[in-house]
Amino acid sequence: MPELSFVLPHWLYWSGLLLFPLLAWFLVRRARGAVQAKPLSVKLGYFLLLTGGFMGVHRMYVKSRWAIAFIVVFVAVLFVNVETRMSRDILSSATNAVDMAQFKIERAERDIDKAQQRLARRDSERNRDKLAEAMAKLEDGKSALATANDEQVVASDHHASWQTTARILGLVLLLGILLDALLLPRLIRQRNEIETLPGETFHCPEVEKEHDDSHEPFAFNRAVSRINGFIGEFVAYWSIIAVFAYYYEVMARYVFNSPTNWAHEGMFLMFGMQYLLAGGFCLRENAHVRVDVIYSQLSKRTQAILDVISSTFFFIFVITLLVTGWIFFHDAFSIKEVSFTEWAIQYWPIKFALPLGAVLLMIQGVAQLLKDIAVALRPDVAELDTAVRPEG
């Protein structure tokens, strides 16, 4: 299979983090009001063809037995790729053996020249022994070079044969995908004539309902709730980006023998920003880890009073995170810090998530504190968020 040399550009990484959640948000909102007219979709079929056609996923979508043929060829590709990697290692070892033999020959030739010069200046048994030893090393080097050259030729032919087999299998898959690209509309149309639309799907109102901001006692609380709700949903869509990135990494590594130098780094940095920015959302949903064995048995007013007291420790942590996070961001921005890998992604936008996440967490904490104070003074003014929502 051909090797892939694609490296994700920095501008595409950052624009993807900003634009993909907006696109996903739009598609989700549009899908909620859409009515499914047919069981199978041509658009989805082509998407499956594009992303998993080499494994016959599109054929599985239309419930065609020809998916087995794609799977068999794909498994053969994986097997051949393993053999190709092994043969490449053997070829590399053989090439290294040739280089080592040539180095020994060159060193032996230098030793012979030195021994001949010493022998010309002084004819002694020791100098004659040195010359004989150097000539013996030269013969050994030539013998090793001949053997290494033969092994290199065999390894090169073996590697080339596996590469040819991989290209043939890849061509078979490509032809199958191109053919199915033409046949797919007809296959979906035929399947739609057989399939029926699914019945009413399962719904869980407790999970599907949105956070009710109208229950918040103050306008500030409602505004903060909306902000963190939007940020939480925004960064949640980043998880889908990870699916595509790691899918590409696995395919590039095991199908095209071309592991990336950016997929893993880009994703763990993205998830680091995600949990920082989603801190305020998790606080709104009461999803942070807490031990409430005794707390849950107390009255609402007592719970609110305890929340007010314990918020002191919360604000100590958040203020520390905000100050240190801003220092980290400022230092990284001032020197335009990048990662130490070959990808060299910018670090200052990532470190900006530290103070930004601290601000989001702080304003949500202030909103919670205002509610707790209000409930402590008048318990019927609002309900405390003491239960973890299923989505949290």
d(CA 150, CA 279): 63
Instruction: Flag whether pLDDT at 48 surpasses 80.
Output: yes
Most confident of 92-101, 214-223, 377-386: 92-101
177 lies in the same domain as 233:
no
Contact yes or no for 145/139 (Cβ under 8 A): no
Percentage of the chain modeled with pLDDT above 70: 91
Question: Which residue range is the domain that position 76 belongs to?
Answer: 40-194
Evaluate whether residue 253 is within a structural domain: yes
Higher pLDDT, 154 or 199: 154
Higher pLDDT, 200 or 131: 131
Read off the amino acid at residue 295. Y
Q: What is the pLDDT of residue 210?
A: 59
CA-closest candidate to residue 255, choices 160, 167, 155: 167
Band of the pLDDT at 223, cuts 50, 70, 90? Answer: very high
182 lies in the same domain as 296:
no
Evaluate whether residue 20 is within a structural domain: no
Contact yes or no for 4/257 (Cβ under 8 A): no
Q: What is the pLDDT of residue 183?
A: 93
Q: What is the pLDDT of residue 359?
A: 96
Read off the amino acid at residue 204. C
d(CA 98, CA 96): 5
Q: What is the pLDDT of residue 212?
A: 66
Contact yes or no for 280/361 (Cβ under 8 A): yes
Instruction: Flag whether pLDDT at 356 surpasses 60.
Output: yes
226 lies in the same domain as 188:
no
* Number of folded domains that form the chain: 2
Q: Please state, as a whole number, how many other Cβ atoms lie within 10 Å of the Cβ of residue 190.
A: 14
Evaluate whether residue 324 is within a structural domain: yes
245 lies in the same domain as 143:
no
Evaluate whether residue 46 is within a structural domain: yes
d(CA 277, CA 234): 10
46 lies in the same domain as 160:
yes
Band of the pLDDT at 161, cuts 50, 70, 90? Answer: very high
Average pLDDT over residues 23-41: 79
Instruction: Flag whether pLDDT at 208 surpasses 60.
Output: no
234 lies in the same domain as 307:
yes
Q: What is the pLDDT of residue 318?
A: 95
Average pLDDT over residues 35-62: 87
Q: What is the pLDDT of residue 391?
A: 47
268 lies in the same domain as 181:
no
**Token pair listed for 28:** 């989700």
79 lies in the same domain as 187:
yes
Average pLDDT over residues 190-197: 83
Higher pLDDT, 156 or 390: 156
Q: What is the pLDDT of residue 382?
A: 66
Residues 6+ apart with CB under 8 A from 305: 372, 376
295 lies in the same domain as 261:
yes
Instruction: Flag whether pLDDT at 262 surpasses 50.
Output: yes
184 lies in the same domain as 233:
no
Q: What is the pLDDT of residue 20?
A: 94
95 lies in the same domain as 228:
no
| Residue 63 region by backbone torsions, left for phi larger than 0, else alpha for psi between -120 and 50, else beta | left
Instruction: Flag whether pLDDT at 122 surpasses 80.
Output: no
Instruction: Flag whether pLDDT at 338 surpasses 50.
Output: yes
d(CA 168, CA 378): 77
* Residues facing 346 on adjacent strands: 338
Instruction: Flag whether pLDDT at 387 surpasses 60.
Output: no
Instruction: Flag whether pLDDT at 392 surpasses 50.
Output: no
Could you identify the residue written with the tokens 């051909």?
Answer: 2
Evaluate whether residue 137 is within a structural domain: yes
d(CA 61, CA 46): 10
CATH number at residue 51: 1.20.120
84 lies in the same domain as 161:
yes
**Which ranges of the chain does DSSP label H, i.e. alpha helix?**
10-33, 42-52, 57-61, 67-121, 125-194, 205-208, 219-236, 238-254, 263-277, 279-284, 300-334, 348-377
Evaluate whether residue 140 is within a structural domain: yes
Instruction: Flag whether pLDDT at 270 surpasses 80.
Output: yes
- Predicted TM-score (pTM) of the model is 0.75
Q: What is the pLDDT of residue 16?
A: 94
Q: What is the pLDDT of residue 194?
A: 85
Average pLDDT over residues 155-171: 91
279-337 pLDDT per residue, tens:
999 998 888 877 777 877 778 788 888 888 988 999 999 999 999 999 999 999 999 99
Average pLDDT over residues 176-192: 92
Q: What is the pLDDT of residue 1?
A: 63
Average pLDDT of the chain, as a whole number: 86
